[in-house]
Chain A
Amino acid sequence: MLIRILLCYIFGYIRVSVEGYYIEKLINICANKKIIIWHVKRDKNVKLYFNVATEDFKEIVKIAKKLKCHVKIEKKKGLPFLLHRYQKRKIFAIVAVLILISIITLSHFIWNIEIKEEDAQELEGIFQDVADAGLTTGKLKSKIDTKEIINKVRLKRQDIAWMGIELKGTNAIVRIVKADSKPEIIDDADYCSIISNKEGIITKINAQNGTANVKVGDTVTYGTTLINGWLEGKYTGLRYVHARGEIEAKVWHTKNIFIPYQSTETRETGKLQNLYSIKFHNFEINLQKRLSKFKIYDTIETEKKFKLFSDLYLPISVKKTTYKELEKEEKTYQPEEAESIGIQQLEKELEEEIEDKSKIVNKHSNTYEKENGIEIYVTYEVLETIGTNEKIVF
């Protein structure tokens, strides 16, 4: 029953209005003759509305004539009537078919490359490397060999631990896991000595294995040997070992900045101007004049690609160019003012650099006044353990 009604929605049905006296009889005859009518509605007048399948409509007219009822077609619904209506609109149909074909053909190409790094770590130049390996926009999906691209990129770059390419619609998602740069591990059995990797003054040295080369209070620079990887005995002679020990040193972290007394600062006024252009792959159409009305401005370009559903990107994009108006402001500082600003800025930078703030021993700053500005040096003394293993090469 319900299926037959549903089929009528596809093969077409007619909403009929019947006006007459023996309306109940019409319904009964329809039921007896197995003509399906549904959504029967009685108007406040003598009119009766109902739906009937197209092929049964002739029967209805016959019955209505017998009962001397007046039949009128209210609406024609269903697929055949819809198609009939669109027969006259040929251009519309052609355009619809063309759009469908173009979308189908465009969906065979790659139109967007998305690079996703784990933990949002930035990899420099990865976009270029991926493109060089053969994954570029506008390439046929079937011609892309993901394995080959991955191999090429991994051969070229050392900082990638894992890489995967997923083709979703017209979107190529490149997933990358960055490899941590590992220090060179020296085997415990190998002979090595410990050398300094920072500049500073030794405050504590404790050689567990090997002979200490420096004393407390010595100044060491980058590369100075701290613990030699050998032991010398009166009777045993020179014996090489794997040096081990703890060395703590006072390390200086120094930063400098030059602050001029007179400076011009640029500031945003908050005025914006948006210009739009439409881009078809590499072909751009400007919708407005490209020149900005501002005298001094910043340009920000954003591109938004059209996409169907979530991953079916199309080679059409809207490019938005935003001009931000800038304002120049002259600023003059007093020497004391400049000094405090500079020291504050440097301290902030240094504190970001130093991991363990409890190890900071001393802070001091130097200022050198010059003609048009002031140069500030800030130094932090931090206690740090230093030293890295270096293999002894014979």
Chain B
Amino acid sequence: MKKNHFRKIDKLLEIPKEVYSNEVKITIVGFEEIIIENYQGILEYEEYFVRIKTHTGIININGYGFNLENLSNDDIKVTGKIEGIEFERLMEDENVN
């Protein structure tokens, strides 16, 4: 209940969602750059495939020539030729929604 209450205030103040919650923000710039905020960890990293774990699920990025440009605690920038992006929802997440 309390959490919900705070969320209402946050919504009123128009604070971005990714700041007050663990929601993922994915920014795709062109076909060659993707920025993922609020990630948890890297599950797999190959030159042609990146698998990133987030709080709401797993993001799979397909393509080739992937580089991890900027790595920090909560955001990651992947560059390379992106061919496809896939999401894997967590089962418990579905119940929440």
Contact = CB atoms under 8 A, between A and B. Distances in A.
B67 A39 contact: yes
A37 B69 CA distance: 9
Contacts of B67: 39-42
Contacts of A1: 70, 72
14 contacts: A1-B70, A27-B68, A27-B71, A28-B41, A31-B71, A31-B72, A31-B73, A32-B73, A36-B72, A38-B69, A39-B67, A40-B68, A40-B69, A42-B47
Interface in B44-67: 44-47, 66-67
Given A28-B41, A42-B66, A37 B46 contact: no
A124 interface: no
A267 interface: no
A37 B70 CA distance: 7
Interface residues of A, number: 21
Given A24-B44, A42-B45, A42-B47, A37 B66 contact: no
A183 B70 CA distance: 80
A176 B50 CA distance: 72
Contacts of B70: 1, 5, 38
Interface of A: 1, 5, 23-24, 27-28, 30-32, 34, 36-44, 48, 50
B71 A30 contact: yes
Contacts of A24: 41-45
Given A27-B42, A42-B66, A37 B71 contact: yes
A30 B46 CA distance: 18
B46 A36 contact: no
B45 A27 contact: yes
Given A27-B68, A31-B72, A42-B45, 20 more contacts: A23-B45, A24-B43, A30-B71, A31-B71, A31-B73, A34-B73, A36-B71, A38-B70, A39-B67, A39-B68, A39-B69, A40-B67, A40-B71, A41-B67, A42-B46, A42-B47, A42-B66, A42-B67, A44-B47, A50-B68
Interface residues of B, number: 15
6 smallest beta-carbon distances between A and B, as pairs: A40-B68, A28-B41, A42-B47, A24-B42, A41-B67, A27-B42
Q: Please indicate which of the listed interface residues B46, B68, B69 has the most CB atoms of chain A within 10 Å of its own CB.
A: B68
Contacts of A23: 45
Contacts of A31: 41-42, 71-73
Interface in B67-84: 67-73
Contacts of A41: 67-68
B81 to A, nearest CB: 14
Nearest to B44: A24
B66 A38 contact: no
Interface in B7-50: 41-47
B31 to A, nearest CB: 19
A32 B66 CA distance: 22
A23 B41 CA distance: 12
Contacts of A30: 71
Contacts of A48: 45
Nearest to B76: A31
A5 B77 CA distance: 14
A5 B72 CA distance: 11
A28 B76 CA distance: 11
A202 B29 CA distance: 92
A386 B60 CA distance: 101
A30 B44 CA distance: 15
Q: Please indicate which of the listed interface residues B42, B43, B46, B47 has the most CB atoms of chain A within 10 Å of its own CB.
A: B42
B59 to A, nearest CB: 14
B55 to A, nearest CB: 15
A43 B71 contact: no
B79 to A, nearest CB: 10
A223 to B, nearest CB: 90
Contacts of A44: 47
A191 B47 CA distance: 105
A22 to B, nearest CB: 11
Contacts of B42: 24, 27-28, 31
